[in-house]
Chains A and B, each alone.
Chain A
C-alpha cells in the first residue's frame, strides 16, 4: 500500500533522536533561563538552538518552499502560526522547558506533520527516558518499536487523570483550574497526576498508564504529534466542550474512551484562550 509520507516520517524520528541528544548534552551544563509571556513561561537557548537544528535539517532534506513550518520558538519571535493545506511540520523543540531547567525527568521533542490540515504522523521523543513514541495514520502507535495501546478502564472511579496548571497564573484562570480539579477528585478518581509536558502526557494516555489528559492553554505544537499517537493507540480526542478536536483551539481532551472523555468533559470549567491561529499584532 502506498505510503506517501514514509520518508518524512522516518526522517522525523531521526531528527527527534538527534534533538533529544542535544537536549541531554545541554542539560549537563548550567542553563540560562529566560522568560516569555510571564515569569513562569520559561525558554532557554537550548529551545531556540534545537528548533533551528530541527527546521534546518528538515528544510535541507525536503527543500524550502514545498513544506511549511510551525515551531514554538519561531512563533514566539513573530512567525505566523496558520495551518494551511500545504505539508506542515508542527514542532515543539523542548516540550517541558520548566522540567528541563530543573532536571525533572520528563522532557520531550514533539514533531507532528499535517497535510490538507489533517495530521499524518507524530513523533514524541521523551529524551531523558529515551522513549521514542511514534505513530503514522492507520498504522498503530509504538514506544521504542513496541506496539502500545490505551487502557481498557471504562469506570471513571478507577481512572488516573492528568492535567496541568499551565503557565497562566491569573486569578480567574487559576480559580477555574482548581475548581475543575476539585470536581474531578470528588468523583472520585484514583488519582490526578501531571508530568509537566503535554506531549508526554498524551503518550501516557496512549500507553495506558493514565486514562485521560485534558488542558486549556496548550498550543498546537504541544499536541500535534501526541494527537496521532493517542488515536493510533485506540484513544480519541475531543474539544473540552465535547465537540470535535480543533488543533488550533489551544484546548483538548485526550482519552482512552468516549465514556471517560465525556465524564471528564462534564466537570471541566472552561475559560477563554486566544487561538493559535488568531491574528496577533506583531511587536
Chain B
C-alpha cells in the first residue's frame, strides 16, 4: 500500500537540509541577538528567515496544510493542534548555542495528522547529522538505523536535561533540586547539550539513556518524539501518564524502568500548555 505521507517526508528532508545550510552560512557572520520573553530567551533574524523558508517551501506544495512554527507563534499565530495535517517547526532549536557557535544546533520538524505524529526530522546541522523517523518504519541517522541503549539500571545511566534561569524562584529551586536528587541516586552523569531535539536524538541513538524537561514547547518535541519512539525508546509525561505534545513537558528514555524511576524522583511544577488560551 502506498504511504500517503512519504512525499511529505521526502520534501521535509530536502527543506530541512536547505535550512541547515542557511544556518551554517549564518554562523560564518556576526549574529545580531534579540530577546523574547527574558534575557536568556534568545532569537535571531536567522531563526525567523529559516522558519519563513521552511513554511513557504512546504505551503507551495501543500497549501491546505497547517503550521505551528516557533517564530510565527511568537509573532501571534495560534498554537492549537487540530486534525488537519500539521507541520510543527522549530527553525533553530538551540538558538543560544547558535549564537555562541556551540556544537549542538538543530532544525526540528514533526508532522501530525489527526493529532498523531506521522514522521519526525531533526537535522543537527553543525554535526551534519540528519535524524529521520517515519511511524512504523524505524529511526535513522544519516540513513543508518539507530536504536536506544536499552539500559534499565538507573545507576548505570547517563541522563540529559537542561538548566536555565527561571524568573519564578520556586520553579528555579525545584528545577535544581530535581537535578541534585537524580545525580545523587547516583547516576553516571547528567549532561546539558542545549537543544531539546538533539537531546531526544542522543537518547534515540543510545548515547544517553534518558532526557527529561519541563518548560519546552511542542515544536521542540514533535520531531524528536518520532525519532525516539521509532528507535525503540519510551516517551511519557513527567507524571508517568501518556505523552502530551502540547503539555510543555516530557520524559524520553531507553526503557520503561528508567522512565518510571525518573517519574518517581521528579517534582513537577506548572509550565502551562502550548494550547492554553492567552
Contact A209 B180 (CB under 8 A): no
Contact A160 B100 (CB under 8 A): yes
A209: B residues at CB distance < 8 A: 100-103
- A105 touches B (CB below 8 Å): yes
Scan B83-111; emit 1 where CB is below 8 A from any A CB, else 0: 00000000000001101111100000000
B127: A residues at CB distance < 8 A: 105
B164: A residues at CB distance < 8 A: 185, 191-192
Chain B residues with a Cβ closer than 8 Å to the other chain, count: 40
Contact A104 B184 (CB under 8 A): no
A102: B residues at CB distance < 8 A: 149, 158, 188, 206-209
- Chain A residue with Cβ nearest B189: A98
Contact A165 B165 (CB under 8 A): no
- B183 touches A (CB below 8 Å): yes
- B163 touches A (CB below 8 Å): yes
Least CB distance from A205 to B in Å reads 11
A158: B residues at CB distance < 8 A: 33
Scan B23-61; emit 1 where CB is below 8 A from any A CB, else 0: 000000000010000011010000000000000000000
Contact B192 A194 (CB under 8 A): yes
Scan B184-205; emit 1 where CB is below 8 A from any A CB, else 0: 1011111111100000001001
Scan A162-196; emit 1 where CB is below 8 A from any B CB, else 0: 00010001010010001001100110111111111
- A39 touches B (CB below 8 Å): yes
- A204 touches B (CB below 8 Å): yes
Contact B192 A104 (CB under 8 A): no
Contact A174 B184 (CB under 8 A): yes
Contact A182 B176 (CB under 8 A): yes
- B155 touches A (CB below 8 Å): yes
B39: A residues at CB distance < 8 A: 157, 188
A157 to B186: give the CA distance in the assembly, Å.
32
Least CB distance from B57 to A in Å reads 30
Scan A77-103; emit 1 where CB is below 8 A from any B CB, else 0: 000000000000000000000110111
Contact B102 A104 (CB under 8 A): no
A90 to B190: give the CA distance in the assembly, Å.
27
Contact B191 A195 (CB under 8 A): yes
- Chain B residue with Cβ nearest A190: B96
A positions within 8 Å CB-CB of B: 33, 39-40, 42, 98-99, 101-105, 129, 151, 157-158, 160, 165, 169, 171, 174, 178, 181-182, 185-186, 188-196, 204, 208-210
